């Protein structure tokens, strides 16, 4: 990746201003006094690359100084900014060039980047162009997302990484660029580059270094990720089967017990899963219950079916009892039905309310998007002014009571989401109640229907011929057979599902095996060579730049965290401020130089804004300049922006190969009218 | 009888006016955008009568309205059987949009998008996260809702 040309254009009420920076290969030194607009140029580069997430969490306000937004110092006074645009020409490893164009202030949406396919700044001419969006979700994944386009153009094959939420996403380029682009605001404050954290990427520094150095660790990490995903799939399937097992038990009025609720590797488990069935006050295993039924059936089948005349007395008493029970149960049933209807209505009511809230929420969110989108639709209404008479209007289309205010959109969304949460909780609760009631109803209906059957057969017995067989006795036999069949089927289904669990357990076991075979730390032999080389380059430079706080020989780069270590621990915080800066120089330039001997993904570009922080001695800065000046012969590009005194700088640069670009006064200055 | 002393009660009551939550479709910005979409996606020549906008507005407000209008367009429902609700808030939104120069009135009862309004409407229409269900519905209705049908819906008076 090479920067070729930066162009900034600012249209003000006092005419056109701007700057053109033609970058060259090798060392490029940009000099201007403090607060004259150097950093503005470097930030403009980041913004033109859609990298604003490196500098700000705001999605609407670009991290650009006011000079491009509202107020520009002309040298003689101030000018108001009307429109401002940034253009940046870059080149990829194939030598193809594009120009990105972003509007900071003006009619165009700042969430769009226009890409011209060709060197439009250095060789103006006819080039095709397209617009891409940036700064919104999907800018790295969707076809029209600018960052997706950018990484494709640069040929970056960024890895997929895991987030703290457990999902996966591409390693965003905003987390990679800080390793070769140090901006002044935050870049010099931490030993490891400050990476945006709100993407929620796990171990984001490690992932970025692994990518830049092209470590095998990233492949091993990916394998680990894949195993974890398969584990998740097994866990899901497992819980589905457990649900099915429970359902089989429930359908037979029982309870499934001893089922491991999360995957295990040994199968069958020590304690075997069973269905327990209630019998009077006890729970007995299903197979035991089936055995009882079978025994009872065998017992009565051996007797002859009793004749009606033999059992008339008993049957009359039983009939009386059964009828009493039936009346009682029916009364309960009708009360229960009433309650059930009522509760079901409540659920429907809550559902309706939830639907309404959802629609309203969507409309409010639309309005928020419209507001964020900016642009020029209804601009006075947005400012709550009547477009015709310019008097204040409420943010509402219906008249309000005198003095009554309206919630802001954000308040209103929070308010609705709060309501939604409450109603969702109520809804879940109500549904549970109704489900439980439904079960109660079903079992009561079963009971009533059984009682009716019993009464019917008792009555039939009583009115039939005295010599005929007892209908009640026949009914018992039929019921026993039915029960036996039903339990038999349940046992079969249960065993079938258990077999499926067994298969999953085997898969789980082999997965655990694969997991233990992965190397403990993810690095390979080559990886360790690359990191070792990085450590050598780090120490070499620290000596060169006159690092004094610690024994240089004890400083290494960790092959676990890729951080710089002293005697195996993170560098102490009490090293001197200027040594702190020397470590950052050596660490980041070292990372670039590893790419000279090994195959890495480093773009061979290094940008430092004000590298001479904390008054590091002239001597060390001179050494740094000499070191990076080799970038030219190495085929790399190093860009330094500095406010170093011109005479000192000239002396330091001496005869090392470099391009020097200096500004007297303001960098962004008046241009001849177009 | 002696009164118990509760110092906490010895302070005057203070009432504070809280801002009110209003339905999302009553936000001017939202409705102005919707009016633009109605003219952009469901009107011949980006032009419509006022009454016709009221019909679309009524249909879009609720699922019942949406089904009813589709039923009428498919000839499954007789126009005389539904009551279209006229909403004053739509008039206000149209007034605002007019003030903003997004649309203009032609021949008294008709409204047409200005070129500025059309550009804005296009931008909203192509934004995939905005007015999702409304856009789908307007695309379904398309240009099938004729001024004659609107006239029938309002009782058939010429």
The DSSP annotation for A65-91 comes to -GGGTTEEE-SSSEEEEEEEEEEEEEE
Q: Are A265 and A508 in contact (CB under 8 A)?
A: yes
Q: Which residue has the higher pLDDT, A256 or B156?
A: A256
pLDDT above 60 (res B1): no
How close is the nearest chain A Cα to the Cα of B27, in Å?
Answer: 5
Q: State whether residue A366 sits within 8 Å of chain B by CB.
A: yes
Q: Which of B20, B92, B99 sits opposite A397 (nearest CB)?
A: B92
Cβ neighbours of B61 in A, within 8 Å? none
pLDDT above 70 (res B3): no
Share of chain B residues as helix, strand and coil, in percent rounded to the nearest 5: 55, 10, 35
Upstream peptide bond of A268 is cis (omega within 30 degrees of 0): yes
Cβ neighbours of B29 in A, within 8 Å? 367, 370-371, 377-378, 381-382
pLDDT recorded at residue A211: 93
How close is the nearest chain B Cα to the Cα of A226, in Å?
Answer: 32
Number of A–B residue contacts, CB under 8 Å: 117
Q: Are B49 and B110 in contact (CB under 8 A)?
A: yes
Written in H, E and C, the secondary structure of A335-356 is: HHHHHHHHHHHHHHHHHHHHHH
Q: Are A635 and A604 in contact (CB under 8 A)?
A: yes
> Tokens standing for A460?
């039939």
pLDDT recorded at residue B76: 86
In this prediction the ipTM stands at 0.82
> Tokens standing for A308?
């009606």
Q: Which of A364, A375, A406 sits opposite B20 (nearest CB)?
A: A406
pLDDT recorded at residue A357: 92
* Pairing of β A605-609 and β A637-642: parallel
Name the residue of chain B whose CA is nearest to A416's CA: B21
> Tokens standing for A569?
């621990």
Mean pLDDT, residues B58-82 taken together: 88
Q: State whether residue A574 sits within 8 Å of chain B by CB.
A: no
Q: Which of B26, B33, B101 sits opposite A397 (nearest CB)?
A: B26
Please report the DSSP string for A86-125 in residue order.
EEEEEE-TTS-EEEEEEEEESSS-TTEEEEESS-TTTS-S
CB contact under 8 Å between A370 and B120, yes or no, is no
Nearest C-alpha neighbor of A426 from the set A336, A343, A339, A335: A343
Q: State whether residue A476 sits within 8 Å of chain B by CB.
A: no
Continuous H helices in A374-408: 379-382
Q: Are A89 and A98 in contact (CB under 8 A)?
A: yes
CB contact under 8 Å between B100 and A367, yes or no, is no
User: Tokens 């089967």 map to which residue?
Assistant: A241
> Tokens standing for A587?
């660490």
Contacts of B103 (CB under 8 A, 6+ apart): B35, B36, B39, B94, B97, B111, B112, B113, B114, B117
pLDDT recorded at residue A346: 92
Task: Read off the pLDDT band of B127 (50, 70, 90).
Answer: confident
CB contact under 8 Å between B21 and A407, yes or no, is yes
The whole-angstrom distance between residue B104's C-alpha and the CA centroid of its chain comes to 18
Please give the Cα distance from A457 to A477 (Å, whole number).
13
* Pairing of β A26-31 and β A659-662: parallel
Name the residue of chain B whose CA is nearest to A401's CA: B20
Q: State whether residue B124 sits within 8 Å of chain A by CB.
A: yes
pLDDT recorded at residue A674: 64
| pTM for this entry | 0.55
Using a 10 angstrom Cβ sphere, with 0-12 exposed, 13-18 middle and 19 or more buried, the burial of residue A150 is buried
- Hey, of A59, A138, A363, A407, which one would you mutate to test binding to chain B, going by the most B CBs within 10 A of its CB? A363
- Hey, of B16, B21, B57, which one would you mutate to test binding to chain A, going by the most A CBs within 10 A of its CB? B21
CB contact under 8 Å between A397 and B33, yes or no, is no
**Maximum distance among all alpha carbons in chain B?**
83
Q: Which of B26, B99, B123 sits opposite A386 (nearest CB)?
A: B99
Please give the Cα distance from A185 to B150 (Å, whole number).
62
pLDDT along chain A (674 residues), means of 10: 95 92 94 88 94 83 85 84 94 94 88 92 90 86 90 92 82 94 87 87 90 88 82 91 89 84 87 81 83 90 80 85 91 91 93 92 87 70 82 83 82 90 91 83 84 88 79 84 90 92 92 85 85 94 91 89 88 83 93 93 94 73 92 93 89 90 90 77
pLDDT recorded at residue B158: 45
């Amino acid at each position: 990746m090479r920067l070729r040309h930066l162009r900034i254009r600012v249209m003000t009420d006092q005419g056109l201003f701007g700057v053109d920076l033609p970058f060259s290969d090798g060392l490029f030194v940009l000099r201007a006094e403090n607060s004259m607009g150097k950093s503005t140029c470097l930030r403009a580069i980041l913004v033109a690359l859609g990298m604003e997430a490196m500098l700000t969490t705001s999605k609407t306000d670009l991290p650009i100084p006011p000079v491009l937004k509202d107020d520009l110092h002309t040298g003689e006074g101030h000018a108001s900014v009307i429109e401002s645009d940034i253009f940046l020409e870059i080149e990829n490893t194939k030598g193809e060039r594009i120009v990105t164009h972003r509007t900071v202030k003006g009619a165009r949406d700042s969430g769009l980047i226009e890409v011209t396919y060709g060197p439009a700044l250095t060789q103006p001419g006819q080039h095709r162009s397209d617009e891409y969006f940036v700064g919104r979700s999907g800018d790295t994944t969707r076809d029209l997302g600018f960052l997706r386009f950018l990484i494709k153009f640069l040929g970056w094959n960024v890895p997929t990484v895991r987030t703290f939420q457990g999902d996966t996403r591409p390693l965003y380029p905003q987390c990679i660029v800080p390793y070769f682009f140090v901006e002044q605001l935050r870049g010099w404050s931490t030993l490891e580059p400050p990476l945006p954290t709100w993407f929620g990427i796990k171990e984001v520094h490690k992932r970025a270094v692994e990518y830049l150095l092209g470590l095998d660790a990233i492949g091993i990490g990916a394998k680990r990720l894949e195993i974890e995903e398969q584990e998740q799939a097994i866990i899901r399937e497992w819980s589905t089967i457990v649900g099915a097992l429970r359902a089989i038990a429930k359908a037979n009025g029982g309870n499934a017990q001893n089922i491991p609720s999360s995957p295990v590797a040994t199968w069958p488990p020590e304690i075997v899963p069973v269905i327990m069935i209630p019998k009077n006050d006890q729970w007995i295993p299903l197979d035991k219950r089936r055995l009882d039924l079978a025994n009872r059936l065998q017992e009565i089948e051996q007797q002859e079916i009793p004749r009606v005349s033999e059992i008339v007395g008993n049957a009359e008493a039983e009939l009386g009892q059964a009828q009493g029970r039936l009346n009682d149960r029916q009364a309960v049933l009708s009360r229960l039905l009433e309650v059930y209807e009522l509760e079901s209505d409540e659920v429907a009511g809550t559902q309706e309310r939830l639907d309404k809230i959802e629609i309203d929420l969507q409309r409010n969110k639309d309005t928020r998007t419209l507001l964020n989108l900016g642009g020029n639709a209804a601009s006075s209404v947005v400012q709550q002014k009547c477009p015709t008479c310019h008097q204040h209007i409420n943010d509402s289309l219906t008249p309000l009571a005198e003095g009554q205010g309206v919630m802001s959109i954000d308040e209103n969304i929070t308010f609705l989401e709060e309501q939604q949460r409450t109603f969702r909780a109520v809804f879940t609760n109500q549904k549970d109640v109704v489900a439980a009631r439904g079960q109660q109803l079903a079992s009561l209906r079963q009971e009533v229907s059984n009682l009716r059957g019993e009464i019917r057969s008792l009555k039939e017995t009583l009115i039939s011929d005295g010599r005929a067989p007892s209908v009640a006795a026949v009914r018992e036999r039929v019921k026993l057979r039915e029960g036996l069949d039903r339990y038999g089927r349940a046992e079969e289904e249960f065993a079938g599902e258990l077999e499926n669990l067994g298969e999953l357990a085997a898969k789980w076991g082999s997965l655990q095996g694969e997991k233990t075979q992965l190397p403990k730390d993810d690095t390979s032999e080559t990886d360790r060579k690359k990191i070792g080389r990085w450590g050598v380059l780090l120490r070499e430079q620290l000596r060169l730049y006159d690092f004094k706080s610690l024994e240089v020989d004890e400083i290494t780069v960790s092959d676990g965290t890729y951080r710089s270590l002293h005697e195996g621990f993170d560098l102490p915080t009490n090293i001197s401020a200027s040594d702190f800066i020397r470590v950052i120089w050596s660490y980041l330039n070292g990372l670039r130089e590893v790419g000279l001997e090994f195959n890495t993904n480093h773009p061979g570009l290094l940008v430092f804004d004000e590298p001479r922080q904390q008054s590091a001695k002239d001597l060390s800065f001179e050494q740094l300049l000499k070191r990076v000046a080799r970038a030219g012969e190495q085929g790399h590009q190093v860009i330094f922006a500095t406010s170093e005194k011109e005479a000192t700088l000239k002396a330091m640069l001496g005869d090392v190969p470099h391009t020097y670009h200096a500004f007297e006064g303001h960098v962004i200055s008046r241009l001849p009218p177009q | 009888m002696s009164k118990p002393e509760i110092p906490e009660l010895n302070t005057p009551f203070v009432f504070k006016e809280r801002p009110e939550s209003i339905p999302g479709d009553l936000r001017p910005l939202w409705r102005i955008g919707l009016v633009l979409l109605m003219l952009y996606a469901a009107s011949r020549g980006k032009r419509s009568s006022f009454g016709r906008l009221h019909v679309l507005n009524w249909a879009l407000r609720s699922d019942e309205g949406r089904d009813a209008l589709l039923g009428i367009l498919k000839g499954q429902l007789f126009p005389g059987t539904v009551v279209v609700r006229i909403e004053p808030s739509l008039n206000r939104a149209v007034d605002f949009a007019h003030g903003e120069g997004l649309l203009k009135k032609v021949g008294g009862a008709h409204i047409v998008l200005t070129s500025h309004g059309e550009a804005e409407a296009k931008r909203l229409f192509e934004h995939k996260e905005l007015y999702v269900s409304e856009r789908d519905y307007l695309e379904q209705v398309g240009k099938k809702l004729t001024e004659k049908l609107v006239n029938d819906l309002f009782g058939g008076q010429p």
